[in-house]
Structure 1
Amino acid sequence: ANFAAEIMVIFGAFRNGFDYQHFHIFQWATLLALWGVVLSAVYMLRAYRRTFFGSSPEPGIAISDIRSAFRFPIALLVAVSILFGFFPQIAVQRIAPAFRNYFTATQ
């Protein structure tokens, strides 16, 4: 889904202000953004390959399990994520007034 959204934004930005004789700032910015998308894809794929298919830096080193000091923060983040996943209204009720004020001010 992310790739489709990126392509639609890039096509829309490239067509904005399009003139057959000149490249405008929209086209230059779009080409720069497209280059950023390509570089980020290369970086992500290289990191994925090294992480999951790369060799260990030193053979025989055992990777230990997570330390107990980190278990509580991770469990807390997981619990909050699950809570907001099942009950998003908790967060929406707190955020909605700020957005309501913002959207009425911009109209």
Structure 2
Amino acid sequence: MIIAREEIFGPVASLIAFDTYEEALAIANDTRFGLAAGIWTSDLGKAHQFIRDVEAGMVYVNSYMIGDMQFPFGGWKESGNGRDKCMEALAFYTQTKSAWLTIGM
């Protein structure tokens, strides 16, 4: 399904029928992108399983695209290169240089 494999930015909701969790996960992961994913469930165990299994940089449970300013923003696969809005961004936007100087030899 093309809509499940493309990054679509805009007010779009695609509803895709599935029979099992494994089928839904396969649909979600069958893309070269991985910015964000979400699940609506009252089963906390299933929510944690989805967080572990889905190939996305940001995962939302019972909400979507909300978060604190410190919530790292960024994706996996071809959806981004690094993280913004977090401490990890410092490493991405800076370059480390180490120097060892011996004096008095």
Larger Rg: 1
* TM-score in terms of structure 2 length: 0.24
* TM-score in terms of structure 1 length: 0.23
Question: Larger % of helix: which?
Answer: 1
